[in-house]
Structure 1
Amino acid sequence: MYTIATIVNAELEAKKSRFQAIAVPVKSEQAVKDVLQSHRDPTTTHQCWAWKIGHHVRFNDDGEPSGTAGRPILAVIEGQDLSNVLILVNRWYGGVKLGTGGLVRAYGGCASQAIQLAQRVELIATQAVTLHCEFAELAQIEYELGQLEIAFQAEYLADGVFITAEMTEDQIGLINPFLQNLTRGREQLSIQDKF
C-alpha cells in the first residue's frame, strides 16, 4: 500500500469545461474535512471528491449525475493501490454538456493526471504514542528519539514533560524497553490510535 508524499495539482479541459484535480495526503477524516473546507471555491460549478484511508472510502458527486464523478476519482485511488489520499476535482462548466461517459473520462482523467505527478511513498503503519518523563530524563529521551528519527512534540507540565509522537511497531519495540530502563519501570509508552 502506498500514499503520496505531497499535494499535487493537475488540470484538464474538456469541451470548454475546465477541471482541476488536487491530490492531498491525509491521515484522518478530520484532515479530509479540513482540506475540503480550505479548498472550498464558490466559483466552481462542481467540487467532486473521493478519499481512502485504510479500508474506509467516501466519494461525492456534488450534483453531477450519480456515479460520474466521485466513483471515477475513487477508482483512480484504488487502481494505484493508494491509501491515505484525498482527490478533489473542481469543475468550471464551459457551456457544453459532456454526457455521462464524458464526465467519467474527465473526472477520472484529471484525477489520474494528478496521481501520475505525485511521488508515491510506501505507507508504513504508525501508532500515536504518548509518554511522561521527569525533566532530568528529557535529554536522554530526546536523544534516543532523534537517533531513531522520530518526530515528537513536548509539553512542559509542572511535574515533568508530556511527549507525543507517531512510531512504527519497530520503533515502539526499541523505545519502550529504553523508557522502562531509564525510568526504572515507572513509565512506558501509552499507545493511542493506529493510522
Structure 2
Amino acid sequence: MPFTIASTVTFEEEIKKSRFQAITSPVENEQEVKAFLELHKDISTTHQCWAWKIGHHVRFNDDGEPSGTAGRPILATIEGNDLTNIIVLVNRWYGGIKLGTGGLVRAYGGCAGQSLLLAEKIELIEKKKVHFQCTFSEWAILQYELRQQNIEFIEHYETDGVHVNALMQIHQIEPFAIKIQDLTRGRELLKIVKELNDE
C-alpha cells in the first residue's frame, strides 16, 4: 500500500561544519514539484539537491555534488520508506571540510531519512479525474451528493446544462456512475478523464 505524507516537514543538522537542511513535502504532479522548488530556491546554499517520486515517475538532482552522492541517496530513502507523491529537498551550506563520497551519501541520505521520520505518513488513496454533464434540475441532486462525499468538483454552466469535472477516489466512481445513469435514465454517463502520464 503506497503512502505519502500529510504535510511539509523540515529537519536540520550540522555535519563537519556543513549545515544540512531537509525540506520534505507532499506533491501531486510535476507542476507542484516546480512550484515547490521555485518557492525554496535559496542562493545562499552551496548545493540544493533533491529527489521526488510521483506514482512510477522519479527524478533526482545532485546540483553539483559528485554524481550519485546526493539525489540518488535521497530517492533511495523515499523508496525505502514506501513513499510516493513526495519531494525531498536537501540544502547544504558548505563549512570548509570535505566529506568524501561516502560521507556525502550518508549526509544527504541521512538528513532526508531524519525528515521522513518527523513526517506523518498517510495512506495514499488513488483518485481519478471524471467528467459528466446533466440538466440544471439534475445538478441540484448530484451537487448535493458530491458535497456529501467531500468530492472536489468544478462546474461549468452551458446552454445545454451543467458540465462537471471532479476528482474521485477509486471506490467512489462506480456508485456515482450508477447514480448518474439512474437519474438521467441512461442518457448520461460518467467518463474517466485519461491523464497524459497514465501508464
Q: Find the counterpart in structure 2 of residue 165 from structure 1.
A: 166
- Secondary structure in 1 matching 2:38: helix
Task: In structure 2, give the amino acid aligned to 1:47.
Answer: Q
Task: In structure 2, give the amino acid aligned to 1:88.
Answer: L
For residues 97-117 of structure 1, give each alpha carbon's deviation from its aligned partner in whole angstroms, at most 9, with x where no partner exists: 111122111111111111111
Query: Does residue 1:141 correspond to 2:142, yes or no?
Result: yes
Counterparts in 2 of 1:29-108, with a 5 A limit? 29-108=30-109
Alpha-carbon offset, residue 125 of structure 1: 1.6
- The root-mean-square deviation of aligned C-alpha atoms, in Å, is 1.6
Q: Find the counterpart in structure 2 of residue 110 from structure 1.
A: 111
Alpha-carbon offset, residue 121 of structure 1: 0.9
Higher mean C-alpha deviation, range 159-168 or range 34-43: 159-168
Alpha-carbon offset, residue 122 of structure 1: 0.9
For residues 144-194 of structure 1, give each alpha carbon's deviation from its aligned partner in whole angstroms, at most 9, with x where no partner exists: 112322122223334332222211222111100101121222222121146
Distance of 2:17 and 2:178 partners within structure 1: 62
Task: In structure 1, give the amino acid aligned to 2:130.
Answer: V
Q: Find the counterpart in structure 1 of residue 121 from structure 2.
A: 120
Unaligned segments of structure 1, at least 5 residues = none
Q: Find the counterpart in structure 2 of residue 178 from structure 1.
A: 179
Q: Which runs of 4+ in 1 moved over 4 A?
A: none
Alpha-carbon offset, residue 63 of structure 1: 0.2
Task: In structure 2, give the amino acid aligned to 1:30.
Answer: Q
Unaligned segments of structure 2, at least 5 residues = none
Distance of 1:155 and 1:139 partners within structure 2: 14
Task: In structure 1, give the amino acid aligned to 2:137.
Answer: A
Distance of 1:28 and 1:40 partners within structure 2: 19
Task: In structure 1, give the amino acid aligned to 2:34.
Answer: K
Query: Does residue 1:21 correspond to 2:22, yes or no?
Result: yes
Higher mean C-alpha deviation, range 102-111 or range 153-162: 153-162
Alpha-carbon offset, residue 81 of structure 1: 0.6
Contact 1:12–1:106 (CA<8 Å) still a contact in 2?
no
Alpha-carbon offset, residue 142 of structure 1: 1.4
Task: In structure 1, give the amino acid aligned to 2:40.
Answer: H
- Secondary structure in 1 matching 2:138: helix
Task: In structure 1, give the amino acid aligned to 2:28.
Answer: K
Distance of 1:97 and 1:193 partners within structure 2: 48
Task: In structure 1, give the amino acid aligned to 2:99.
Answer: L
Alpha-carbon offset, residue 10 of structure 1: 1.0
Size of the aligned set, in residue pairs, is 195
Higher mean C-alpha deviation, range 50-59 or range 61-70: 50-59
Distance of 1:20 and 1:169 partners within structure 2: 36
- Secondary structure in 2 matching 1:87: strand
Measured at CA, do residues 116 and 23 of structure 1 come closer, stay the same or move farther in structure 2, by a change above 3 Å?
same
Alpha-carbon offset, residue 29 of structure 1: 2.0
- Secondary structure in 1 matching 2:179: helix
Alpha-carbon offset, residue 18 of structure 1: 1.1
Distance of 1:8 and 1:81 partners within structure 2: 17
